[in-house]
Amino acid sequence: MTAGDSSARGAAEGSAEALPTRRAAPFSGAGRLPDGTPVRIRPLMAGDRGLLFAGFAALSPRSRRSRFLREVSDAQLERMLSVLLDTVDQQSHIALLLYADDRPIAVGRLRSFTSDPAVADLAVTVADDWQGRGVGSVLARELLARAEGVREIQTVVSRGNAASLGMLARLGQMRSDCVNGTCDVVIDVSRSSAAGLADAA
């Protein structure tokens, strides 16, 4: 799962237990994972608060640290979810849920900076049992496909989060500056083909 609190900014393909099943429209096809599994996608909605909280609460301590770059209590998580759900407009702040086998397996968001709408922060979190199957790359593709005018991603990642760093490197030309356990990452996505990310693992 992902939250919109600025102190927890960063792209993380973190682990989580399987999220609770929830059916909501509108769904659209998002192609297939590299192993052939079909996936669907839908926008995150205000009514998803319980689903998000359950998904984030199921994250292991290690996954929470990878995602939020620090320890996060349930109370802090509740506040972060409020920020996320209250600011998603699916234009400057896009948030999507990815489904497979009729259940949500990942959530991601892309938020443009008010100072420069062509620059955005990206964050992705994937359920434990779907990790390493290209889910994060498919979700990133869908987010970028909806992000009109975004040319650059700027985010913060744990230095030990190889999955997220690999996912980001597949989005475009990447440079990073790693200090004290975290990496400031910048990716030029201006020449990236969103459709081409479908094949990324």
Task: Tell me the residue ranges of DSSP E strands in the chain.
Answer: 28-32, 38-43, 93-100, 103-113, 116-126, 152-158, 173-179, 182-188
Element (H, E) at 167: helix 162-169
For residue 47, the one-letter residue type is G
- 1 within some domain: no
Q: Report the pLDDT averaged over residues 84-97.
A: 91
Q: Mean of the pLDDT values across residues 85-110?
A: 92
Q: Could you report the per-residue pLDDT of 126-179, keeping only the tens digit for each?
A: 888 888 899 999 999 999 999 989 999 999 998 888 888 999 999 999 999 999
Whether 76 has a pLDDT exceeding 80, the answer reads: no
Surface-to-core class of residue 131, CB atoms within 10 Å of its CB (0-12 exposed, 13-18 middle, 19+ buried): middle
**How far is 199 from 177, CA to CA, in rounded Å?**
27
* Among 131, 68, 150, 139, CA closest to 109: 139
In a domain, 174, yes or no: yes
3-state secondary structure of 55: helix
Which tens digit of pLDDT belongs to each residue from 27-75? Answer: 888 889 999 999 999 999 988 888 888 877 776 667 666 666 667 777 7
- Give pTM, 2 decimals: 0.78
Q: Indicate the number of domains in the chain.
A: 1
Q: What CA–CA distances, in Å, run from 48 to 39, 88, 120?
A: 19, 12, 23
Expressed as residue numbers, the domain containing 119 is 6-199
CATH code, domain carrying 157: 3.40.630.30
Confidence of residue 118 (pLDDT cuts 50, 70, 90): very high
The verdict on residue 175 lying in a domain is: yes
